[in-house]
Amino acid sequence: MTKIVFSSYPIDIDKYHHLQEVCPLNTFRTVDPNQVPLSLPSDLCSKSFKAVVVGSGDTANAVYMVNLLRVDKSAIDQQPLIIAYHSGDDGVSLTAGFIHHGSWDGRTVYPEKGFFHAIE
């Protein structure tokens, strides 16, 4: 069994609001990793060929998932970043973090060699 690790990632409210401009709540977008307005690590962006951004919720409670699709040797791997937002009487809470070393169906895909030629 693979251990799933959550590592916190800093995010501020301005970047969160900019993410909402890129991908409004209750929609999804596929963008270039460098178009995700969160100052993602450059080494991770350089390995990734797409980022799927999904937003769900409302102005009080929302969750975003930024799933970076990256080529890792001869496989396509996923690197999800989860962002949770809450605004209530107790103030605003904004938490983000990467999920590492997951083992779920479909996390790693081994496409045919022609796929890699196409995306290069």
Q: Residue 13: helix, strand or coil by DSSP?
A: helix
pLDDT at 116 over 80: no
Q: What is the structure's pLDDT at 108?
A: 67
- Confidence grade of residue 1 (pLDDT, cut at 50, 70, 90): low
pLDDT at 120 over 70: no
Higher-confidence residue of 2 and 25: namely 25
Number of domains in the chain: 1
Q: Which structural domain range is residue 78 located in?
A: 5-119
- Distance in angstroms (rounded) separating the CA atoms of residues 94 and 113: 41
| Percent of the chain predicted with pLDDT > 90 | 51
Residues 98-104, mean pLDDT to the nearest whole number? 71
Q: What is the structure's pLDDT at 107?
A: 60
Task: Provide DSSP, 61-110.
Answer: EEEEEEEEEEEETTEEEEEEEEEEEEEETTEEEEEEEEEES---TTSSB-
Tokens of 90: 């107790």
Q: What pLDDT, in 10s, does the model give residues 35-71? A: 999 989 888 888 899 999 999 999 999 999 999 998 7
